[in-house]
């Protein structure tokens, strides 16, 4: 779920990968911080468990906003997310991190919603081709936009699509042309099947 961008063909003389200069919050299986982890190291090799979030953005008709990750992402490039996902920095809550990413990636400001809340939390680990992996304790947040004007950052998002949330889950063959991000598929299934845990505990996905 990282917002990791590729080197874009940069050579060795152009310095390290941008993510090598950033950290994520390493956590144990209960989402308790254990320190900081280099962001690139956390997503390569065997990886390191770290804190993340994904935010499901709805309109007032119950449709979910799907966002296509930019082609320059190192992990899950061009896949469709529902809707934004990233990592809180040290000392930042998932709610505050979500507010920040909603504005940075979609141009959505707090006056467009008033119901942002954490609805679930789960741990999962998934590899992506030969490029790396995600090993995260992921908080799920949901929000309903009362006003749906968007101003997407095309460095992060290359496509937007409003979809019927129930049909996306119940009739996946209708949307087979969309490659969905694994953390979103997990969050949607847990939500639709009533497996969510909103009390701070962590569900597990293998």
136 classed as catalytic: yes
Radius of gyration of the CA atoms of the chain, in A: 16
Both tokens of residue 24? 């994520």
Is 134 annotated in some ligand binding site? Answer: yes
User: For 55-143, where are the alpha helices, taking DSSP H only?
Assistant: 94-101
Is 155 annotated in some ligand binding site? Answer: no
Q: What is each CA distance from 70 to 34, 79, 193, in whole angstroms?
A: 31, 8, 30
In order, the DSSP letters of 81-113 are ESSEEE-PPTT--HHHHHHHHIIIII---GGG-
Catalytic option among 136, 155, 158, 195: 136
Q: Reduced to 3 states, what is the DSSP secondary structure of residue 132?
A: strand
Is 17 annotated in some ligand binding site? Answer: no
Is 90 annotated in some ligand binding site? Answer: no
Rounded distance between C-alpha atoms, residue 181 and residue 190, angstroms = 15
Q: Which amino acids are annotated as binding site for Mg(2+), given as ranges?
A: 105
- Catalytic annotation, residues: 136
Query: Residues annotated as binding site?
Result: 43, 50, 87, 105, 134, 136
């Amino acid at each position: 779920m990282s917002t990791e961008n590729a080197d874009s063909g940069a050579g060795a003389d152009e310095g390290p990968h941008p993510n090598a200069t950033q950290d994520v919050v390493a956590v144990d299986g209960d989402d308790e911080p254990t320190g900081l982890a280099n962001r690139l190291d956390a997503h390569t090799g065997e990886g390191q468990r770290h804190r993340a979030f994904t935010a499901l953005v709805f309109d007032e008709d119950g449709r979910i906003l799907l966002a296509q990750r930019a082609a320059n992402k190192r992990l899950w490039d061009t896949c469709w997310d529902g809707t934004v996902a990233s990592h809180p920095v040290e000392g930042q809550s998932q709610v505050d991190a979500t507010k920040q990413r909603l504005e940075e990636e979609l141009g959505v400001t707090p006056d467009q919603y008033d119901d942002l809340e954490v609805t679930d939390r789960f741990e999962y680990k998934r590899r992506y081709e030969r490029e790396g992996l995600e090993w995260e304790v992921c908080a799920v947040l949901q929000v309903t936009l009362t006003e749906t004007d968007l101003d997407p950052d095309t460095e992060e998002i290359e496509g937007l699509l409003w979809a019927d949330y129930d049909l996306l889950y119940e009739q996946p063959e209708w949307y087979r042309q969309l490659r969905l991000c694994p953390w979103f598929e997990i969050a949607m299934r847990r939500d639709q099947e009533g497996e969510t845990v909103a009390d701070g505990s962590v569900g597990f996905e293998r």
